[in-house]
Amino acid sequence: MGLNVKSFSSTHAKVEVSPIRADILHPCDIVEDIGIGFGFNNVPRVFPPTNTVGMYQPANKFQYLLRAEIAQAGYIECLTMSLLSFKDNYENMRQKTNLEECVTVGNPKTLEFEMVRTSLLPGLLKTLKENKNEPIPQKVFEISDCVVLSNETDTGAQNIRKIAALSLDMNSNFEVIHGLLDLLMCKVYAQ
C-alpha cells in the first residue's frame, strides 16, 4: 500500500505517505486503505451506541417530489450557474440594478461571475439561447436556491428556494405554463 507507520498507540497512528500516492489527501483515505487491506467483510458488525433514523429534510423531500412531477410533465431539468453578471441578472431582464438586494463577489475574476443570482430566469433563458439547434418545443425548469441580502441572518444573506419553468414553441401559449402550475397545485393539494 506504500504507507509507512512511524508510531502507533491505542488511539493514534502516525503514518508517512509515499510521494507516489497522490490519492491520499485526508486521514479518511488512510482508513480506507486499512479497510481494503483488512477486508471490509472482516470488520465485525456492531450496533452504534446511539440510535438514529436518517430522513430527508422536509423542504428537500418536497423539492424532489416537485422535480419528479415536472419531469413527468415533459420538462427537462436544468442546473444553471449560481454566479452571473449584473447584465444577465438585471439589464437583460429589463430591470434596474439593485445593489441592496444582491450578494456581490468581492474580487470577480471575470465579468461573467460578478454576483449571486436573485432569479432563476436568466439561467434558463441562457440555456434556451445555447440550445437553438434543438427541436421545438423545448420545455425546461429549475428548482434551486437564489440568494438575497438580509439583515435577519448572521451571514447577511439568505437563501431562497425558487422554481422556474420556461416553454419555447412556435406560438406562445400561456395555458402551457398555467397547466403546469395547475398540475403542481393539484398534486400539492392532494398530499
CA distances (Å), 84 to each of 13, 34, 62, 143, 167, in order?
A: 46, 44, 27, 17, 22
What's the rounded Cα separation, in Å, for the pair 13 and 25? 16
Q: In the prediction, which pLDDT does 191 show?
A: 62
CATH number belonging to domain 58-190: 3.30.930.10
Angle in degrees, 0-180, between the axes of helices 58-72 and 174-190, rounded to the nearest 10: 130
What's the rounded Cα separation, in Å, for the pair 170 and 46? 62
pLDDT tens, 56-93? Answer: 888 888 888 888 888 988 888 999 888 988 888 888 88
The structure's pTM equals 0.64
pLDDT tens, 25-45? Answer: 888 888 888 888 889 899 888
Q: In the prediction, which pLDDT does 184 show?
A: 84
Query: What are the structural domain ranges in the chain?
Result: 3-42, 58-190
CA-based angle 94:96:102, to the nearest 5? Answer: 115
What's the rounded Cα separation, in Å, for the pair 2 and 181? 58
